[in-house]
Amino acid sequence: MILAAGFGLLIGVALGLLGAGGSILAVPALVYGVGEPVRQAIPASLVVVGLSALGGVIPRLRQGVVRWPIAAVFGAAGAGAAFGGAAVGQLVTEQVLLLAFAVVMVAAAARMLVGQAEQRGACTVAGGRVNWRACLPRALGVGAVVGFLTGLFGVGGGFLVVPALVLMLGLDMPVAVGTSLVVVTINSIAGLAAHLDAVAELDYRVVGSFTIAALVTSMAAGRLAGRLNADRLRRWFAYVVIAVAVFVAVQALINPSALG
C-alpha cells in the first residue's frame, strides 16, 4: 500500500507539471513495483492515469488554458481506437507486450528530450478559433494513434498529444498541457471500457492508494506548473523513463515467468 502510494506520487507530479509522461511509468510501477499481473496492471493504470489527469485539469480551469473543441476531437478519435488497441493486446504474449511498451517508453523519452518548439502548424489558432479544414484530418489521425496506444498499453498518451498540439495546432505550452490533460482523461475512460472484463479482478486497495496519491499530487503540481522550469523537469523525467524502459526490457527478457 505504501509502495503503491509512493509510485502514485511520482505519476501525479509528472502529469500535473507536464501534462504527459506520468502514465508511461504507471504500468511498470504496477507490474514490477507493486507486483500486479500485466493484464490487471493495464486497466489499473488507466484508473490511476485518468483520475490523475482529471485532477490536473481542475486547477487549469481557472487559468483558462483548456481548448475544449480540440480536446473533444482528439478524444473522440481516440475513444474508438482504444478498443482496437485492447483487442490487439489480447493477441500477444505479456512478454511481447512489455517489450513493445519499453520501445514506446524510449520513443516518449526521446520526444521529451528533443522538446517542443513553439510554432504555428497545420491548425493555426487565431483569435481563439481553429482552422478545422486544415487541421481536422491530422487531429483525427493523431487522436486515433493515441487512443490505440491507450487501449494497448494503458497509457494516457499525453507524450504524443502535447507535441501534436504545439507543432500541429500552434498552441503555446500551457494551453497544450491543459488540453492534453482533458484528452488523457477521455482516452483513459475509453481504454478502461475496452478492458472492462479485467476490472473485476483489480486489487482496489492497491489501485486506491496509487490513485489517491497521484490525484492529490497532480492537483498540487498543476498549481506549481507555471513557477517551475518545465524544460528542465521534462529532461530529467525523460532520463528516468529511459532507465525504467531498459529495466522493463531486461526483466521481460530474462524473467518472463514473473509476468503472469
Where is average pLDDT lowest: 12-26, 168-182, 201-215?
A: 12-26
Return d(Cα 82, Cα 190) in angstroms, integer.
Answer: 6
- Residues 6+ positions from 62 with CB-CB distance below 8 Å: none
The count of other CB atoms within 10 Å of the CB of residue 18 is 24
* Nearest residue to 8 (alpha-carbon basis) of 38, 44, 60, 40: 44
Q: Whole domain around residue 63: which residue ranges?
A: 2-259
Beta carbons within 8 Å of 254's beta carbon, 6+ residues apart: none
**What's the pLDDT score for residue 118?**
47
Distance between CA atoms of residues 260 and 258, nearest Å? 6
CA distance 191 to 182: 14
218 falls in which pLDDT band (50, 70, 90)? confident
Average pLDDT, integer, range 74-81:
86
Listed residue (177, 231, 247) closest to 25, CA to CA: 247
DSSP characters for 124-138?
-EETTEE-HHHHHHH
Please state the rounded mean pLDDT for residues 63-76. 85
Tell me which amino acid residue 217 is: T
Do 32 and 251 form a contact (C-beta atoms < 8 A)?
A: yes
Q: What is the mean pLDDT of residues 112-133?
A: 60
Find out whether 147 and 82 touch, Cβ atoms under 8 Å: yes
Residue 130 has pLDDT above 80, yes or no: no
Contact 212, 77 (CB under 8 A): no
Percent of the chain whose pLDDT exceeds 70: 75
Q: Give how many domains the chain has, as a whole number.
A: 1
* Amino acid (one-letter) located at 80: G
pLDDT of residue 19: 59
User: Which of 76-90, 97-111, 161-175 has the weakest average pLDDT?
Assistant: 161-175
* pLDDT value at 124 more than 60: no
- Non-local (6+) Cβ contacts of 163 within 8 A are 111, 116
Are the beta carbons of 9 and 210 closer than 8 angstroms? Answer: no
pLDDT one-digit tens code per residue, 21-41: 566 777 787 787 777 888 788
Which is higher by pLDDT, 77 or 135? 77
End-to-end CA distance of the chain: 20
- Prediction pTM value: 0.74
